[in-house]
Amino acid sequence: MHTAELIELSRDVDASIVPSGDKVTLQQGEQAQITQTLGGTYTVIINGNMFRIEGSDADALGLEPVKTPAEDSKRPKNLDELNEQMQKQLKTVYDPEIPVNIVDLGLVYSCEPTEIDGGWKVEVKMTLTAPGCGMGPVLQQDAQNRLLCIDGVDEVDVEIVWDPPWNRDMMTEEAQLQLGMM
């Protein structure tokens, strides 16, 4: 969803400044323009500045929260189902400035589940498009939270790594097409 119309915030709402990731509180009555609604989060512009609002706060924008794939799924019966659900979950994590998920951007280098005490521990290695990206901790936390939503996943460790350095060749063809790079 991208809209030119301004939406008045119906209440104070916590947000992250893009691209620094700093936390702020946007005030009730401020006028916001939605620029991106992907992965259950909202990217808005207010007074020329970009902010990210969590999906759980969609009501401040007059919108309904979007269900995540984990809310519609069942406990995975085997490793193949778990891997499928992990990919679905990670494909709901978006950089607020780029309309492509972190999997298709090529930011996820590995996602390895290990069985522990009847559940799963998942270790993820991912990178960012640029080392100075202030949204890194936000994306890292998003990936962790989305994986923890899977029934049976009890522990998740998401590590930001820089080797190998990310480059656009790591993106899927679909992502490159979507961003006009092909």
- For the record, the structure tokens of 8 come out as 């008045």
> Per-residue pLDDT tens for 12-50?
999 999 988 899 999 999 999 999 888 888 999 999 999
For domain 7-61, which CATH number applies: 3.40.50.11740, 2.60.40.10, 3.30.70.20, 2.30.30.40? 2.30.30.40
Residue pair 43/35 in contact by the 8 Å Cβ criterion: yes
Beta bridge partner(s), residue 53: 42
pLDDT given at position 39: 81
> Per-residue pLDDT tens for 72-119?
667 888 999 999 999 999 999 998 888 899 999 999 999 999 999 889
Residue 59 has pLDDT above 60, yes or no: yes
H or E stretch covering 80: helix 79-90
Residues with Cβ within 8 Å of 88's Cβ and at least 6 positions away in sequence, in order, are 69, 73
The model carries a pTM of: 0.79
Q: What is the Cα–Cα distance from 148 to 156, expressed in whole angstroms?
A: 7
H or E stretch covering 148: helix 136-148
pLDDT given at position 67: 66
70: pLDDT confidence band, cut at 50, 70 and 90? low
In a 10 Å sphere around its CB, with 0-12 CB exposed, 13-18 middle and 19+ buried, how is residue 26 labelled?
A: buried
Q: Which fold has domain 70-178?
A: GMP Synthetase; Chain A, domain 3 (3.30.300)
Within 10 A of 123 (CB to CB), how many other CB atoms are there?
14
Among the listed ranges 65-69, 74-78, 132-136, which one has the minimum average pLDDT value? 65-69
